[in-house]
Structure 1
Amino acid sequence: MRRLAPHILSLAVVGSLVSGAAPAQSTPEFREALEAYQDGDAARAVMGFRTLAEQGDGAAQFNLALLFLKGAGLPRNDRAAFYWAWRARLNTVPEAVALSDMIGRILPAEVVADVAGQLFEDLKADVAGGKADAMLGVARVQITLSPAPDRVEALAWATLASAFDVAGARALRDALGLELSDQDRLAAQARAQELFADWCAGPGAESCGH
């Protein structure tokens, strides 16, 4: 299949920044960043959305990805746009699925692999910091973005996430379990026990019932 020229992608991104939650629920910081962009101050919007994106705000992550892609308020950076689009995708921002797929099609395979590696590191750091939702993110990156998907490892992380009722984890765990052999499924369960022990030895100890 012919690769799209880099300039085609930005023209294909229809729509604009997402507004996040309902106005009554979005934070003042998010509204301020959105208003800055609407007022033509993209640099201030970048600063606002970056701060919120680093704090885990999915809508801010998506908007930061778009600003990187458009080169608005900072130089265009397709790799950074891809990374933040994937963070938003893992935060279940609907628009981020198409955006991350589109950017991924124009990036070299080695850059996609590099971003996958960065996501693994950052998500595992989030888990180590006590964020259970990041467990499912590790599984999803493993099966969707990794250049060498390890479905046993993905099942282990999905199994761990499902133990803490992370939304969507149980469905992914069961789907992966049906795809694997009994031996691989048991291997994944053993690996999940190791991950569980690590979690219970860290900030997540309170959720382990000790």
Structure 2
Amino acid sequence: MRAPGLLLLLPLIAAAPLPGPALAAPDQATPAAAGQPALPDLATAMAALSDGRAPEGAQMLLALARAGRPEAQFNLALLYAQGFGVPQNDRESLYWGWRARLGGIPAAPALIDRLAEAATPALRDELATRIAADLEPRIAAGEGRAMLERSLLLVDLLAKPDLQTGYAWQALSAALGTPGAAVLRDATLARIEPRNRLAAQDAALAMLRDLCAGGMQGQALCATLP
């Protein structure tokens, strides 16, 4: 049974400060990609939801969520959880809830917890794969924040956590100077059996070599490879 308490009238949720690229303020429109229509601002989407134009508001939130706005991702997750403006869908609610969690929305973990019964092991693995694909372009470009987000999928979302690979991404993120990554790296390393720790560290080097052969080629971290 679905836990009660999700709100139909959604607040304007702002992202908490997190390491990595600065998040756009809630009242600013996210720049559209070249050649694409301008995106709506979040306040306009929320106004549509509150004045009886729920599908229109959901459409605007979806555009913003796909553009990477964590506030829109969280509110879209709530819409899917309630079936307000969109057909009710726990898979999509969890997907956007996890995107919002990775984006730094403080309320996102509580929403994910409310949908825990829907998050079967198969669905957890499906979501981890889907979100990892979303992160891939940023990781290939050498963005430490995206590597840290990737690690959380492996450590916290997968039905069977992959601590060694999660550690490897955290090690690379920490090496790139992402704030908070070193703390998570050390916490994950402490959960890995001592006999497997060197293998996890070697995996990080192997991943870095692959990245340096691609989009990270020429970056300073690549010059440190043994």
Task: Give the TM-score range, shorter chain.
Answer: 0.7 to 0.9
CA RMSD of aligned residues (A): 2.4
Q: Which residue among 5, 13, 18 is the counterpart of 1:12?
A: 5
Mind listing any 5+ residue stretches in structure 1 that lack a counterpart?
A: none
Q: Which residue among 88, 109, 114 is the counterpart of 2:121?
A: 109
Letter in 2 for 1:103: L
| CA offset digits 1:39-59 (Å, max 9, x no partner) | 221112112211121121111
1:17, 1:200 → 2: CA distance? 42
Contact 2:26 2:43 in 1 (8 A): no
Cα 1:185–1:115, aligned 2, differ >3 Å: closer, same or farther?
A: same
Query: Offset at 1:145?
Result: 1.4
Query: Offset at 1:21?
Result: 6.2
Query: Offset at 1:115?
Result: 1.6
Higher helix share: 1
What does residue 52 of structure 1 align with?
A: 64
Partner SS state of residue 159, structure 2: coil
Report runs of 4+ in structure 1 exceeding 6 Å deviation: 21-24
Matched residue pairs, number? 203
| CA offset digits 1:162-198 (Å, max 9, x no partner) | 1122232111101112222343222111111122223
| CA offset digits 1:114-142 (Å, max 9, x no partner) | 22222233223431255432211111111
What does residue 110 of structure 2 align with?
A: 98
1:90, 1:204 → 2: CA distance? 23
Cα 1:188–1:21, aligned 2, differ >3 Å: closer, same or farther?
A: closer
What does residue 176 of structure 1 align with?
A: 188
What does residue 53 of structure 2 align with?
A: 41
| Alignment of structure 1 residues 184-203 onto 2, 5 Å | 184-203=196-215
2:218, 2:51 → 1: CA distance? 46
Letter in 1 for 2:10: S
Mapped pair 1:138 → 2:150: yes
**Which of structures 1 and 2 has the larger relative contact order (alpha carbons within 8 angstroms, sep 6+)?**
2
TM-score scaled to structure 2, two decimals?
Answer: 0.79
Cα 1:47–1:25, aligned 2, differ >3 Å: closer, same or farther?
A: closer
Query: Offset at 1:206?
Result: 5.4
Instruction: Tell which deviates more after alignment, 88-97 or 15-24.
Output: 15-24
1:64, 1:185 → 2: CA distance? 39
Mind listing any 5+ residue stretches in structure 2 that lack a counterpart?
A: 17-23, 30-40
Contact 1:20 1:60 in 2 (8 A): no
TM-score scaled to structure 1, two decimals?
Answer: 0.85
Instruction: Tell which deviates more after alignment, 14-23 or 164-173.
Output: 14-23
What does residue 35 of structure 2 align with?
A: none
2:25, 2:150 → 1: CA distance? 32
